[in-house]
Amino acid sequence: MIMTNNSEPKKILFGTNGVRGIIGEDMNPELVMKIGLSLGTMIQGRVALGRDTRTSGEALAAAMRSGLLASGCDVIDLGILPTPALQYLVREHYDGGAMITASHNPPDYNGVKVIEGDGTEMDDPRTIALESLIFSEDVRIADWKSVGKLTDESHLIEEYIRAIVSHFPPDCCKGMVVVVDPGSGPAAATTPEILRRMGCTVHTINGRFDGTFPGRLPEPSPEGLALLSETVVATKAAFGVAHDGDADRAVFVDERGTFMNENLTFAMLARAACRRNPGIVVTPVSTSDVIREVAADCGCTTTYTPVGSIHVARTMLKLIAAGERVAFGGEGNGGQIFPNHQFCRDGGMTAAAMAELVAGSTRSISTIADEIPPYTMVKEKIHSDDPAAILSKVRSACAELDLNETDGIHIRWDDAWALIRPSGTEPFIRLYAESRDPVRAEEVKTYLLSLL
Ligand code: MG
């Protein structure tokens, strides 16, 4: 924990979604065992443990298991599974969870995501408390009578698969051909099976667990998905779906093999959710205005949060607790949250929802996508050692405009918006500008760059 100028404690080890590092450099079993001891000290209950397919996963999982058991927690080993599967099972059965994963990072990375008993990722105040235990080493070490017990319940992955399939009418996708690219990650055990049970004919590529990621990197980038695109075209599939390294995100290629922008697929799924069950759509301030527009077309409103899926999930829960109806949530990176399922991003659920949407239409996925209004978003990453000074410069230069400081500074014009946001961990400022008109988006970006 460090104190910033305004004396607010900040996270050091943990970023937006857990702690990550390079194996042999800043990520190792010693650190993970300390996290296990500290987490176990906080939870004092039954903790589920899962991992993705990285080569370092077994070593780090063993360290986490050791720390948790030594603190007196019982550990339930769920083996290799998607992060949302672990989150679902924690909410159903356990007091907390730890996922050994580096999500979309390259193969030499690994890390830990910490899950609360309600299945959501740990929030900032609790993460800061966890970090202070890690640094102070003021942890509970159980005596010989109270060390934890280890059990294997990896068969419970079946419960997660069934939970997703249960949200859709039986055989709603009968006969539809779909290609799945789990990228050698944990969704190889879930997404193809989910879609098959919904009636799809499923072809899988990169479908074997492999921490060397021989087919493509864990980030499902357009360049990495060339084989998925080719396979979709060759098999005349309705679409292709790919996951990141821990399958909380899902990205799509259309029936022509073209990569679909994640804000576009978010808009398609949000529109379907709003039509079926009108309510608020929750998303970070960095998301495309297309979400606001499709929600408004369905008579729904949009609530904005700071960047990070944890803020989206917790805002959805808060709104529901306050008696509001929440239709959908998500980020413009393929991370979608379905409030009828669970309050975290879920790549398997996202794939299933898209399958239902396409199977229920007489049109192709690209034709459905064409109904969504096009927006152009441009981004820039600017080096800065003093982000606060830049923010105050923007604040005074744009004082007459519509400003919102939920996270960074969000500026709204009639025909465009922009976001200037310091990175939480690096000396960078991120600049986003968006408009229906590509020229206008560039113009806004150029104007803001001139201010900086
Ligand atoms: Mg991920």
Provide the b/e sequence for 129-157 (b: ≥16 CB within 10 Å).
ebbebbeeeebbebeeeeebeeeeeeebb
Q: Does 103 participate in catalysis according to the annotation?
A: yes
Confidence class for position 3, pLDDT limits 50, 70, 90? very low
Angle at 47 between CA 43 and CA 52, to 5 degrees: 125
Which strands make up the sheet holding 177-181, listed edge to edge?
Answer: 201-204, 177-181, 239-243, 250-253
Position with higher pLDDT, 260 vs 452? 260
Two structure tokens written together for 279: 């309510």
Query: Hey, what are 235's tokens?
Result: 């098999």
What's this model's pTM, rounded to 2 decimal places? 0.95
- Going from N- to C-terminal start, the domains of the chain cover 2-158, 175-258, 262-370, 376-451
CATH T-level assignment (fold) for domain 175-258? Alpha-D-Glucose-1,6-Bisphosphate; Chain A, domain 3 (3.40.120)
Q: Is the pLDDT of residue 28 over 50?
A: yes
33 Cβ contact list (under 8 Å, min separation 6): 63, 64, 66, 67
Q: 3-class SS at 411?
A: strand
**Over the stretch 173-230, which tens digit does the pLDDT of each residue have?**
999 999 999 999 999 999 999 999 999 999 999 999 999 999 999 999 999 999 999 9
**Cα–Cα distance, 136 to 138 (Å, whole number):** 5
112 CA distance to ligand 1 centroid (A)? Answer: 11
Asked: is 262-370 a CATH 3.40.120.10 domain? The reply is yes
> What spacing in Å lies between the alpha carbon of 208 and ligand 1's midpoint?
18
Task: Determine which one of 38, 71, 103, 184 is catalytic.
Answer: 103
Query: Tokens 């109806």 appear where?
Result: 325
One fold for both 175-258 and 376-451?
Answer: no
Centre of ligand 1 to C-alpha 73, Å, is 26
Cα(176) to centroid(ligand 1), Å: 27
CATH topology of domain 2-158: Alpha-D-Glucose-1,6-Bisphosphate; Chain A, domain 3 (3.40.120)
Nearest to 38 by CA among 3, 10, 79, 1: 1
Q: What is the pLDDT of residue 8?
A: 63
CA of 57 to the centre of ligand 1 (A): 15
- Ligand 1 centroid to 245 CA: how many Å? 6
CA 144–ligand 1 middle distance (angstroms): 38
Superfamily per CATH, domain 376-451: Alpha-D-phosphohexomutase, C-terminal domain (3.30.310.50)
